[in-house]
Structure 1
Amino acid sequence: MAGIGFELKKLFKATGVLGVLRAYGYTGMITAGPMLLGIFYLMGIGIIGSHFGLGQENRELLTSMITYNLLISLMVTSVFGMVVTRYISDMLYQESEDKVLGSLSGVLFIILPIGCPLYGVFQIVFGIKLIHLVLNITMLAELLCVWMMMNYLTAVKNYKGILIGYVISIIVSLGGATLACRFVGVSIEILLMFVCLGYGVMMCVDIALLYQYFPAKGNDYFSFLHWIDEYKSLVVIGFFSGIGLYSHLVIAWFSGVGKHIQGQYYGAPQHDIPALFAFMTILITNINFVASVEVHFYPKYRKYYDLFNGKGSIGEINVAEKEMKEVLLHELVYTARRQFYATALMLSIGMTLLNKLPLGFDDLMDGYFRILCVGYGVYAIGNVIMLILMYFTDYEGAGISTIIFAGVSTIGSLISLNLNVRFYGFAFAIGSMAYLIYCIIRLYFFLQNIPYHILASQPMVRRETRSVFTFFGEDLNNIFTRVVRFRRSINKKDKEEAL
């Protein structure tokens, strides 16, 4: 859904340091809020547990549980995330807001019964405690809902409401965990319960915001499945982006620096901690993409395409194309420069600060941090260019870029298992570099022939793609419509009898 809300645009036009900080703060919470919240919980709960005397082994187990839930939920929702976003965008464009909330119910109806039971069976096989099983499945279900709702909240653009939700979630979770550990005692169960409570509060706030914005009517619960048939590349982009980002972390768990924690839980603290802080460097580019690229590039992009759809002359189209390309190049260079500065700052000042914190940083962890900072920085710039390809609906090019990224990063990480432990992380950096190079080349050739891609490459007659997902969605819609009608008839009959 291209374009940011009028409220955020107004904030960026404001003058003064506070106005700029406020605008960037809102942008950060929208673009990276859920991920930041996950990182904040990992660090906050660990600090609380350590402060109240939770043992090292239990802290590692708790961290692994939260990490597993985060990664599994991100991978499951990545399959539907971009398809759902495209569906929402199309419904808003068609002024069919009444169909939006139905699709949320539909996608959750699919991913929750698939993700949670499979994860539960996986944990039962490895003999996890019943209380841990219940809490982990609860957290996974909440995370699946939260990640998916973020696609819808992007359309709402209620930045203050979303920010308030994050603040309440953090206060309830970490504040409640601190009080409980002080007056009841510290344990994995208590800390995990309050993480679940925090995500539960966030989920409830998100639901309230969505119901305030979208009409709660309509029975098109599974119409979004047709968009999978229409835009298969979006599934590829979402899935392989997740593989490229997270596979090297999982592979490191079974490497020379990995360790078996308990049951099915593995980790690699020497690799994971540097990766966590290195990952945070890409937040600069994510925020800058919304705050800079969308604010300046999107109006030019919209004007250019409107001239094709309206009554623009060839001269006006050529002028608009030149302006759009100039702004795009300027913003991409500006974004890359900021990411370079952020990476350089983390490699100098950031590393000094991390070595002074009680995180156990040694020479090996310093090396991981350096190479992963570079890798994530390169990835961030490549990802921005991939998003620009999606602006121009070059889904094929965007899909190929993510496959290259995932393939090089994953295969390289597997190969590095046979190398010295100091080489872990290089595969991700090389994969990110391949990702960036391909995206640059693809965007360059696309922009060289953009009028052709807009006009000549389109089919003369649009044919709707109808396949297995479309038919499956229609069947599910019919079943749910009948169930809803049956329930309404029962309720009506009960009311008549009561009268």
Structure 2
Amino acid sequence: MAGIGFELRKYLNDDSFTGTLKAYGFAGLISAGPWVLSIVGVMLIGIVALTQPVVGEADGSGVRQFTTSVTWLMGASLVLTGLLQLVFTRFVADRLYEMQDTIVNANLFGAMALTTAVSAAIGLILALTLFSQSFAYEFLMLANFVTLGNIWIVVIFVAGLKRFKLILYAFALGYGATIVLSILLLPFGLSGLLAGLLIGHALLLFLMVGVVLPEYPVTLTVRFDFLQRRLIFPSLIAIGFFYNLGIWIDKILFWLNPGTSEAMIGPLRTSLIYDLPIFLAYLSIIPGMAVFLLRIETDFAEAYDGFFEAVRGNATLQEIELLGNHMVSAVREGLFQIVRVQGATILILYLLGPTIIGWLGISEQYVHLYYINLVGVGAQVLMLAVLNVLFYLDKLRDALLLTSTMLLSNASLTWLTLQLGPQYYGYGFGLSMTLTAFLGIILLSREMDNIEFKTFMRSRPAQEVAA
């Protein structure tokens, strides 16, 4: 955290409104920037494409086919790679702790090779069974799916290096290139848009790989040590999969329900009444994610390091208790700050809701979807902060309980609201995220109580010691 933490504290230590604004703005861009850039990039491509007769038919179906395809690509690739993301990151962290940095790049190549093979096989099977579109469309969808899968593996790897600023720059360049190339390739219609997206994603992937490789001894070999059974944490496989599927399951249910969606291209469906409100609500995460980076990934991380350095060293019990109390205070203050800032953001966007919905041309009948989704997204940010602290404390069982609760509650409650009717749409997601956030706070509070005693009394196999 050296570079990011130092720069953020430099702004905060300015002790002025401008300095605070800079700190939170910078943190918001770093933490939520890639997500915002990807949304804005795809939206800009769609807006430009609508003005072109080749793609923007009178009903806008060409653009909607593109945005629907991209949304399914994003969701499917995230859910699939969720099986590997966390377990591979933990493998790398443990090897670095053991000073085995010479095998990191080789295993990164192995993880990318595995991701490429699995995603290509799945994509090919789907292309041969469910799709009956042109060869160009199916090939570009397959290539984008494989590329995105590798991006999610590398981006979490880069995030583990705390190179957040480089991630932001890479996403800006990648999606900037996507916008330019998609506009240039517009005469080729839907295939041109997907080709521009593919080139931009490929550029993004190469940029991030270029960030990772110099960090460790460069090797051209490919290794699969991360697949050794003794080095795998099955709970991390489940957590990564449950988390990503839990985030997307409400969207998937709305897409698959004939009453709330329409067929767009091949087997892919879209939900006009649900998609735009939920993605607009997700743009509200920027303030909450800024606080998350400032208070959890900076203040808490520093307090955590101080506490466990004291435990491993020769500090007195009084010093350890003092540092433990400081760590607990950092967690509480971080969570309270997230609630305050995200709550204020929700209130402002709630008041602006009718204006925003009207400007976008969405029926006021569904403005409640936007409101409920705002609350759900705010709760999701809080839950993410809690989950992050649980990872720091190596409480994988609690993290598994949290993510499985999110998946099951979001799936069941969303399905229930679909049965109850339009006036209940969105409540499944909102209630699920709120329930999960409260559960996370309970689990975290239980762990933080008497943290010094629990730290000394824990007994785990050597291979499960957190790196």
- Provide the TM-score with structure 2 as the length reference: 0.91
Residue pairs, 1:134-145, within 5 angstroms = 134-145=139-150
Task: State the aligned residue count.
Answer: 455
After superposition, the Cα gap between the structure-2 partners of 1:436 and 1:163, relative to the gap in structure 1 and judged at 3 Å, is closer
* Counterparts of 2:420 and 2:150, CA distance in 1: 40
Q: Which of 317, 332, 344 is the equivalent residue of 1:314?
A: 317
After superposition, the Cα gap between the structure-2 partners of 1:229 and 1:140, relative to the gap in structure 1 and judged at 3 Å, is same
> Does the Cα contact within 8 Å between 2:31 and 2:164 map onto a contact in 1?
no
* Counterparts of 1:343 and 1:186, CA distance in 2: 41
Residue pairs, 1:8-19, within 5 angstroms = 8-14=5-11, 15=14
Corresponding residue for 1:362? Answer: 363
When structure 1 is superposed on structure 2, of 297-306 and 5-14 the one drifting more is 5-14
> Does the Cα contact within 8 Å between 2:243 and 2:407 map onto a contact in 1?
yes
After superposition, the Cα gap between the structure-2 partners of 1:7 and 1:242, relative to the gap in structure 1 and judged at 3 Å, is closer
Q: Look up the equivalent residue of 2:233 and give its one-letter code.
A: Y
> Does the Cα contact within 8 Å between 1:270 and 1:364 map onto a contact in 2?
no
After superposition, the Cα gap between the structure-2 partners of 1:231 and 1:433, relative to the gap in structure 1 and judged at 3 Å, is same
* Counterparts of 2:219 and 2:99, CA distance in 1: 14
When structure 1 is superposed on structure 2, of 193-202 and 148-157 the one drifting more is 148-157
Is 1:91 the counterpart of 2:95? The answer is: yes
Structure of higher CA gyration radius? 1
Q: Which of 55, 62, 77 is the equivalent residue of 1:58?
A: 62
Gapped regions of structure 1 (runs ≥ 5) = 466-499
Residue pairs, 1:204-219, within 5 angstroms = 204-217=206-219
Deviation at 1:229, TM superposition (A): 5.4
When structure 1 is superposed on structure 2, of 7-16 and 394-403 the one drifting more is 7-16
After superposition, the Cα gap between the structure-2 partners of 1:220 and 1:26, relative to the gap in structure 1 and judged at 3 Å, is farther
Gapped regions of structure 2 (runs ≥ 5) = none
Deviation at 1:87, TM superposition (A): 2.0
* Counterparts of 1:240 and 1:18, CA distance in 2: 40
Q: Look up the equivalent residue of 2:235 and give its one-letter code.
A: S
Residue pairs, 1:337-352, within 5 angstroms = 337-349=340-352, 351-352=354-355
After superposition, the Cα gap between the structure-2 partners of 1:226 and 1:342, relative to the gap in structure 1 and judged at 3 Å, is farther
Please give the per-residue CA displacement for 1:188-246, whole angstroms capped at 9, x wherever unaligned. Answer: 11111111111111112112222232221285722222478542222222111112110
Q: Look up the equivalent residue of 2:234 and give its one-letter code.
A: K
After superposition, the Cα gap between the structure-2 partners of 1:432 and 1:63, relative to the gap in structure 1 and judged at 3 Å, is same
> Does the Cα contact within 8 Å between 2:105 and 2:218 map onto a contact in 1?
yes
* Counterparts of 1:437 and 1:401, CA distance in 2: 10
Please give the per-residue CA displacement for 1:329-361, whole angstroms capped at 9, x wherever unaligned. Answer: 1221111111111111221225523422xx321
Is 1:447 the counterpart of 2:412? The answer is: no
Deviation at 1:291, TM superposition (A): 1.9
Deviation at 1:413, TM superposition (A): 1.5
Q: CA RMSD in A?
A: 2.3
Please give the per-residue CA displacement for 1:426-457, whole angstroms capped at 9, x wherever unaligned. Answer: 11111112211211111111111323432223
Residue pairs, 1:23-102, within 5 angstroms = 24=24, 27-53=27-53, 54-55=56-57, 56-102=60-106
Deviation at 1:272, TM superposition (A): 0.4
> Does the Cα contact within 8 Å between 1:180 and 1:186 map onto a contact in 2?
yes
Is 1:235 the counterpart of 2:240? The answer is: no
After superposition, the Cα gap between the structure-2 partners of 1:66 and 1:223, relative to the gap in structure 1 and judged at 3 Å, is same
* Counterparts of 1:88 and 1:19, CA distance in 2: 36
After superposition, the Cα gap between the structure-2 partners of 1:353 and 1:464, relative to the gap in structure 1 and judged at 3 Å, is closer
After superposition, the Cα gap between the structure-2 partners of 1:17 and 1:318, relative to the gap in structure 1 and judged at 3 Å, is closer
Q: Look up the equivalent residue of 1:13 and give its one-letter code.
A: K
Corresponding residue for 1:497? Answer: none
> Does the Cα contact within 8 Å between 2:410 and 2:428 map onto a contact in 1?
yes
* Counterparts of 1:223 and 1:380, CA distance in 2: 34
Residue pairs, 1:9-408, within 5 angstroms = 9-14=6-11, 15=14, 24=24, 27-53=27-53, 54-55=56-57, 56-125=60-129, 126-159=131-164, 161-181=166-186, 185=187, 187-217=189-219, 221-226=223-228, 230-255=232-257, 256-349=259-352, 351-356=354-359, 359-408=360-409
Deviation at 1:27, TM superposition (A): 3.7
* Counterparts of 2:139 and 2:193, CA distance in 1: 14
Identity, in percent, stands at 21
Corresponding residue for 1:469? Answer: none
Corresponding residue for 1:489? Answer: none
* Counterparts of 1:246 and 1:222, CA distance in 2: 29
